C-alpha cells in the first residue's frame, strides 16, 4: 500500500498497483522516494480523493468498457472549478486517461460559448485593438453565426 499526502494534510492509502496509473507516482516509487509516504503539495485533499476514485475504478473495472464509459460520464458531472482542479491534478500526476477525459469535457462545455464568455472563464485579457478584432471576426464571419 502506498500513502499519499495532499497539500492540505489529508492522507490516503491506495494499492501500489492502482497508484502507478499516475506516471509521476510510478517514477517516485521507482526512484525510491516513497518509503513512508508520498507528498503531493500540488493537489488538495478533495481533488486527490476524486482522482483516486477515478484510478481505483479504472483499475478494478479495466475490461468493462461500457461500465467505464458510464462511470466517466458521471465522474465529470462536477462544477467547472472542480473540473479545472482535476485537470491540474491529472497533469501533475501524469494520468493520461483522466487528463484526456477532463480536457474533452471542458472542450465540450466551452465549444458553443462566445469569445467573451471564454475570456471570462479563463481570465484572459483581450489584447486586440477593436479594429484587429473586427477584422478577425469578419474573416470567419460564419463561425460566429
Partner 1 sequence: MLPGGKSTKTSRFEPIENPRKISLNSTASSSTPLPSSPSKSIQEKQNDDIPLDTSFSSSPSASATIIARNEDLLTQILLKLPPKSLLRFQCVSKQWLSLISDPVFRRRHSSRIRRYPTTDFLFFSSDSYRNEIDLLSFSGDWVDSVGNVSSPLRYSLEGEILSLQSCNGLLCIQFMVNDISRELIVYNPTTCKHRSIPWPYAESIPLVIRYTNIAFDPVKSDYYKLVCVGVDLNGTFYRFLVYSSEAGVWSVSRDALGMDSDSAYYFGKGVLWNGDVHFLGSDCCTLCFDIENECLQPSTPRIPTNLEVVGRWDIRYFGETGGNLYVICLNKPKAMLFDVFALKRDYSQWVVKYRVDFAPLITCYPEMKNRGFHTPCFVVDKEGKKARIVILVEDKFIYYDIHGMFVKELVEVVPVYAEVGGWGDSTWYRWCEAYQHVDTLASV
Q: Given the rule CB under 8 A, which residues bind partner 1? A: 73, 76-77, 79-81, 84-85, 87-88, 91, 99-100, 103-104, 106-112, 115, 117-128, 133, 136-145
Distance in Å, CB of 55 to partner 1, minimum: 19
Q: Which is nearer to partner 1, 18 or 54 (CB)?
A: 54
Residue bearing cell 467547472: 80
Residue from 80, 90, 1, 79 nearest 40 by CA: 90
Q: Which residues pair with 4 in a beta bridge?
A: 12, 38
Distance in Å, CB of 89 to partner 1, minimum: 9
| Three-state secondary structure call for residue 27 | helix
Q: Which is nearer to partner 1, 61 or 110 (CB)?
A: 110
Q: Which is nearer to partner 1, 31 or 139 (CB)?
A: 139
Q: Going by C-beta distance under 8 Å and a sequence separation of 6 or more, which residues neighbour residue 122?
A: none
Amino acid at each position: 500500500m502506498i500513502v499519499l499526502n495532499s497539500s492540505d494534510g489529508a492522507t490516503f492509502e491506495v494499492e501500489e498497483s492502482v497508484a502507478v496509473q499516475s506516471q509521476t507516482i510510478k517514477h517516485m516509487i521507482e526512484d525510491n522516494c516513497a518509503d513512508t509516504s508520498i507528498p503531493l503539495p500540488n493537489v488538495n485533499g478533495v481533488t486527490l480523493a476524486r482522482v483516486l476514485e477515478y484510478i481505483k475504478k479504472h483499475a478494478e473495472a479495466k475490461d468493462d468498457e461500457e461500465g467505464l464509459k458510464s462511470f466517466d460520464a458521471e465522474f465529470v458531472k462536477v462544477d467547472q472549478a472542480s473540473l479545472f482542479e482535476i485537470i491540474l491534478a491529472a497533469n501533475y500526476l501524469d494520468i493520461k486517461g483522466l487528463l484526456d477525459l477532463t480536457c474533452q469535457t471542458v472542450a465540450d462545455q466551452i465549444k458553443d460559448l462566445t469569445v467573451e464568455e471564454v475570456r471570462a472563464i479563463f481570465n484572459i485579457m483581450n489584447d486586440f485593438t477593436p479594429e484587429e478584432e473586427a477584422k478577425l471576426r469578419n474573416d470567419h464571419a460564419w463561425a460566429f453565426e
